[in-house]
Amino acid sequence: MSLLEYVREVVIPSVSAVSWVPENAAGLEANELIKRVINVILIIVVIAAVIFIMFAGIQYVSSQGDATKAKTAMSSITNAIIGLIVAFAAYALVTLVMNQIGVEITDVPETPVT
């Protein structure tokens, strides 16, 4: 089995089988769907920020005393940390608003076809 066949037949079906949306997604409340989407977005942002921080750390270590390279790397680390803070603040704000509304946001009711 070639690598391409392995990826197509084994990896892709196993990745698509693990889903964050349940099988009965039609009955899923919009409130839960919004929470799950926001959680996935937050996870992606955190992973991206960690990758940026690691990359900038490697740039900083490999700058070998060059002040401009070190400054560029430090600004990348600072920007990644600011991005994390903004992402967590947005997550907290959305969670706070959704909790304070108090009304469950449900699926759009079916309208009769006339």
Question: Do residues 31 and 104 lie in contact, with contact meaning Cβ atoms separated by under 8 Å?
Answer: yes
Model confidence pLDDT, tens digit, residues 45-74? 999 999 999 999 999 999 988 999 999 999
C-alpha count within 13 angstroms, C-beta hemisphere, residue 98: 17
Task: Choose among 34, 52, 54: nearest CA to 97.
Answer: 34
pLDDT of 6 higher than 60: yes
Would you state the structure tokens that stand for residue 25, as one six-digit string? 């997604």
What is the reported pTM? 0.61
Model confidence pLDDT, tens digit, residues 66-96? 999 999 999 999 999 999 999 999 888 888 8
For helices 30-61 and 67-101, give the axis angle rounded to 10 degrees: 170
Tell me how far CA of residue 34 lies from CA of 4, 54, 60, in angstroms.
Answer: 35, 30, 38
For the chain, what are the domain ranges? 28-99
